[in-house]
């Protein structure tokens, strides 16, 4: 799997180019991923009864090129990935002298419930640092994106939120149109989760104890979704609003996942053939 993480940026970049080219040549063609990718069951960090555990993260060290960030495309190893971060070349703001971009995506422990809606699945801590440990950011125009998958591949209505200052800040969110994944453009990183309407099967991330009027209005044991935007973050939206997410991005990400899934299936098939040949030789 470590090898897959090393290859992932190139694979996602290749998928991006394939899908963009296909859309230019055949703008009315159906999505290339139809009927190709098997979606694995959602994996939980702390699984509810009857649900699979084993949620994992992903890391990558990406060299800085000529003082600018290259393509950044890192994803957790599931099919389809449960958490991804994507930045086009030059999308991140790089401090002078930085040589490496260190990306980490990790599922983190959580507790409590939300006052409005519920966190669906794991909370993912996404860290993007330079080699000196300085947190990297991005201008809104760079369209740096976080992609999270809901527990139900058929989930059609959800919002990605970022935990900041003791509150979950909803972000402008768009559905990828595939596998229950959702996309938000971000300017900074941290803890992210998928928020779905009404009570759900999961729990919310650990609340930071910050005294405030808003917090005091929330019943004990509950966190809150703030009605206002966090500093430096996107403004909250009504669910289903696609503003702020470029139209090509959902298609490009879906194509990238298609290419990655194809390569993984090829590797698994090759390993299976090797095992069969070995067993035949023993007999």
Q: What is the pLDDT of residues 121-179, one digit of tens each?
A: 999 999 999 999 999 999 999 999 999 999 999 999 999 999 988 889 999 999 988 88
0.75 exceeded by pTM: no
> Going by C-beta distance under 8 Å and a sequence separation of 6 or more, which residues neighbour residue 233?
162, 164, 169, 171, 186, 187, 188
Kindly report, residue by residue over 245-282, the tens digit of the pLDDT.
555 455 455 555 545 544 555 555 566 666 666 655 55
- CATH 2.60.220 for domain 41-242, yes or no, is yes
Tell me if 172 sits within 8 A of 237, measured CB to CB.
yes
Domain assignments of the chain as residue spans, ordered by start: 41-242
Please confirm whether the linkage preceding 80 is cis (ω < 30° from 0): yes
**76-123 pLDDT per residue, tens:** 999 899 999 999 999 999 999 999 999 999 999 875 457 678 999 999
H runs (alpha helix) in 118-247 = 213-216
Distance CA 77, CA 22 (A): 26
CB of 176 within 8 A of CB of 253? yes
């Amino acid at each position: 799997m470590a090898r897959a993480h090393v290859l992932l940026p190139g694979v996602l970049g290749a998928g991006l180019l394939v899908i963009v080219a296909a859309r230019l040549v055949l703008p009315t063609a159906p999505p290339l991923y139809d009927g190709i990718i098997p979606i694995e069951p959602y994996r939980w960090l702390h699984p509810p009864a009857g649900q699979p555990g084993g949620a994992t993260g992903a890391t990558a060290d990406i060299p800085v090129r000529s003082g600018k960030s290259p393509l950044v495309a890192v994803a957790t190893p599931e099919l389809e990935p449960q958490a991804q971060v994507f930045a086009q070349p030059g999308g991140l703001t790089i401090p002078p002298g930085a040589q490496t971009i260190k990306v980490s995506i990790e599922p983190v422990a959580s507790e409590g419930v939300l006052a409005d809606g519920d966190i669906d699945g794991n909370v993912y801590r996404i860290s993007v640092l330079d080699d000196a440990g300085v947190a990297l950011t991005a201008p809104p125009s760079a369209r740096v994106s976080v992609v999270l998958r809901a527990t139900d591949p058929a989930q059609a209505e959800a919002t990605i939120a970022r935990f900041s200052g003791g509150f979950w800040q909803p972000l402008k969110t768009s559905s990828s149109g595939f596998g229950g994944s959702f996309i938000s453009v971000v300017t900074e990183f941290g803890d992210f989760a998928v928020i779905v309407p009404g009570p759900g099967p999961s729990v919310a991330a650990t609340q930071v104890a910050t005294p405030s009027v808003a917090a005091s209005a929330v019943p004990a044991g509950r966190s809150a979704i703030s009605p206002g935007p966090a500093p430096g973050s996107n403004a909250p939206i009504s669910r289903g609003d696609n503003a702020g997410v470029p139209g090509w991005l959902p298609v490009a990400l879906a194509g990238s996942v298609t290419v990655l899934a194809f390569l993984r299936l090829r590797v698994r098939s090759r390993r299976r053939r090797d095992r069969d040949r070995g067993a035949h030789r023993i007999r």
